[in-house]
Amino acid sequence: MYSATFIFSKREYDEEFHRLDQAIAQAARAIPGFLGEESWENPASGTVSNVYYWETLEALEKLMRNPHHMQAKTLQGRWLDGYQVVIAQVIRTYGNSQLGGIAPGFGKP
């Protein structure tokens, strides 16, 4: 399993941002191998973190090649005040069943 974490500081969003954001979300969910997503915001700093989970790196790369994603990447300076993307291979997940979560128990020996 892989995770792609998109960390950013937001500026003002406009109609085009919301249109592209929706198109990218729909495209991601339609790709075989998409496992889910989570979003977090730090109210003190305004920093946002979106984490997307993928079964394979190839599935993640399909989203990266999506035309809506590529367009948003070129326009990001209009809506974001800095960003960072972290791609990681998930070795294991664990916890109790209270949250459910993304692929609970992934990587159990």
Mean pLDDT of 82-96: 88
DSSP E strands in 14-104: the ranges are: 34-41, 47-54, 80-89
In degrees, rounded to 5, the angle at the alpha carbon of residue 9 between the alpha carbons of residues 8 and 11 is 125
Mean pLDDT of 36-50: 89
Return the closest-CA partner of residue 103 out of 61, 55, 31.
55
Alpha-carbon distance of 88 to 23, in angstroms, equals 24
pLDDT of residue 94: 79
**2-89 has which fold?**
Alpha-Beta Plaits (3.30.70)
| Global confidence as pTM | 0.82
User: What band does 4 get if pLDDT is binned at 50, 70 and 90?
Assistant: very high
Is the pLDDT score of 109 beyond 60? no
